[in-house]
Amino acid sequence: MKSRPNRTNFYFFVFTLITLLFTQEINAQDQGFIYGSVLTESGSTYTGPIRWGKEEVFWSDMFNASKRSNQNLDYLSDRELDQLRTRQEENTFISKFLNIEISWDREMSFVHEFAVAFGNIKEIENVGGSRILLTLKNGETLRLGGSGYNDIGAKISILDQELGAVSISWSDLEKITFSQTPRTLPQKFGDPLVGTVFSDIGEFTGLVQWDHDERVGSDKLDGDSRDGDLSIRFDQIRSIERDGSNRSFVTLKSGRELSLSGSNDVNDGNRGIIVYVEGLGRVDIEWDEFDKVVFEDSKDSGRAFDTYKSPQKIKGTVVVDNGDRVVGNIIYDLDEAYDIEVLNGEDDDVKFFIPLGLIKEIKPRAGDRAQVLLKSGNEFMLEDSQDVSDEHQGVLVLSDRDPVYIPWDRIENLLLD
């Protein structure tokens, strides 16, 4: 006589399988946190989640530094370089005459900012002062400086898997080696802030950085209420809505409502609300353009380290004003050569930082701006940045033939592969 299947055991098996799959999905949500090993000058090594100062904590966060030289100038003829210098001098004079602030890289140096997501970096070595050697995932090592940027020189916090929280001064740092984050972290800096930010030009959903600083649930929102000073954990907040320039309405997850002022977290002293949007990049919304943020009950920290692929050379086609089409490797603005590097631009006081690998087409337009079409289908008209204005230093195209330099004012459009 055959025995009948035990339905209780069958249902238990199905329940266990579903629970296991669900748990694996939840555990995977920690993989967006920066993780690696920190070697100090004393020879000690600490391994665990890393936070840069009080700021960067996710692979999607940006590491900023300054490039120390621009070897791409070697491709230009003396005549092309003289013309470029003349145009730079004219732009500098006009900007100063109009009392417009100019950053150093818009002067005569032709040395630019370096900005990539932490997920694109393999290793950072401190070589003294404000100088580092940064190795990308493709093995290329760059010599960078920290002039004008706070990422070089910052205090490094790490949650060592055995010792717990360790704070390391930059002067004590020798090297940081990044690696894949475990599926689940026994300790972390807090759950990510995920939500939708509503602005005057639209809404953006993703990882949120408040006031360029707070980005995890354990960070706090400061403000003055009618009854005194408050410091509220972000993981207790459902939404924040701007009320004029100097006050905000805050709704907690419990439904409690507060009106806060007196702090740059809730007034026009706010440095901006940044949203990392998958397939777009980083969007930095100034206070006057910000309307409201609604946070989600999500612990998804974003993409894992191994999803950030090895940087690739930018390839594409430049359509010149005489109808010529020049095909090859692209050096954008005489500087950006890899698809992980970013294009900067503004739309109505909202700043965009878009990796070049996400861009399909760039069309220069009159009035110091450019139309930027993404591979996702999104389209923006950007201005107020060297990357999209007459201050652009031109495009180099490298192929099997001689290098071709094309000034910005001769480009009809740029098609990226």
In tens, the pLDDT along 110-128 reads 768 899 999 999 999 999 8
Residues 6+ apart with CB under 8 A from 65: 113, 114, 115, 132, 134, 144, 145, 146, 149, 151, 152
Tokens 């967006």 label which residue?
32
Residue 182 has pLDDT above 80, yes or no: yes
pLDDT at 91: 55
Interval 294-321: pLDDT, tens: 999 998 999 999 999 999 999 999 999 9
Mean pLDDT to the nearest integer, 59-74: 88
Residue 398 has pLDDT above 60, yes or no: yes
Please tell me the distance from the alpha carbon of residue 406 to that of residue 135, in angstroms, as a whole number.
30
pLDDT at 74: 79
pLDDT at 104: 35
What are the structure tokens assigned to 247, written together? 């006050």
Interval 19-37: pLDDT, tens: 333 333 443 589 999 999 9
Residue 177 has pLDDT above 50, yes or no: yes
| CB atoms closer than 10 angstroms to residue 354 | 23
Tokens 């920690």 label which residue?
30
Q: How far is CA 173 from CA 124, 189, 303, in A?
A: 10, 21, 27
- Identify the band that residue 89 occupies on the pLDDT scale cut at 50, 70 and 90: low
What are the structure tokens assigned to 184, written together? 């689940």
pLDDT at 23: 37
Characterise 43 by phi-psi region: left (phi > 0), alpha (psi -120 to 50), beta (else): left
Report percent pLDDT > 70 for the chain: 88
Residue 102 has pLDDT above 80, yes or no: no
pLDDT at 6: 52
Mean pLDDT to the nearest integer, 397-402: 89
Residue 245 has pLDDT above 90, yes or no: no
Mean pLDDT to the nearest integer, 240-269: 95
Please tell me the distance from the alpha carbon of residue 32 to that of residue 115, in angstroms, as a whole number.
19
Residue 5 has pLDDT above 70, yes or no: no
Tokens 């998958």 label which residue?
278
- State phi, psi for 35 to the nearest 5 degrees: -145, 145
Mean pLDDT to the nearest integer, 11-15: 39
- The rounded mean pLDDT for the chain is 88
